Structure 1
């Protein structure tokens, strides 16, 4: 069954999405929805990453709340920095963050988190996945930024994915 339907819920979601986007449940659209729902996951199966096994679901919720809070706080901090830019320009810098996280899914989640937080951008990952280069819009203290990044984002992701 997995051979023909590698992601059954994805197939159902694609079929429903097809019907919703076309605003029609005509026989032709139903047939096309089934074809898209069947073929797309089948053709994309080789591109799927390894299955994810979430170790601690409670940590996922805690991380979600922490990231949401950091997004709010960072939005305010970036806005205030821009407001005061004439008096004190932002101190932008690239920071090399040493990584302990090696899981590909965890690194993908970390890249999303680093890019979603206003004022930070995931810039480069070393080939051996040991160092992450992050651009920070307004950096006060590099050591405290690295500590915050590792404790708030990397360690929970390690608990979740490793």
Structure 2
């Protein structure tokens, strides 16, 4: 009986390191900066950018784009600096497609083969190709100023011939002061 208990204790002690190695982890990330500001999209911390309703015929083939909608990212209540401060907007897309766009996550009556493409400005000429955390320049806090705004764009993008339905896409954003 004493030998059985000894074997049981020895067996359990061998299993403990394996259990410790399989434990979940948590990663903490952050940034320390000399500059902090209040950030907003179209004047709000969390915002929904409403794109226009468009006919599926405007997205009938892969690569077609339509419904360009400008949105602004602003900072205010910043500390005054004696030099211009470039602020990178970092986007982290959810459900990113192979083309680097925000995939459609609409749950009910979802349009097929449609994504949302972000652009570096309101003109929509330069797409933001999302790949992990993607930094986009353009927001500049000019020397002596306490606020700044930069306009980006969002538009529908046909991954293939689109079908009619709802489109919802999500991206997180942070600002990095250079």
TM-score (norm 1): 0.28
Higher strand share: 2
TM norm structure 2? 0.27
Higher helix proportion: 1
Higher relative contact order (CA 8 A, sep 6+): 2
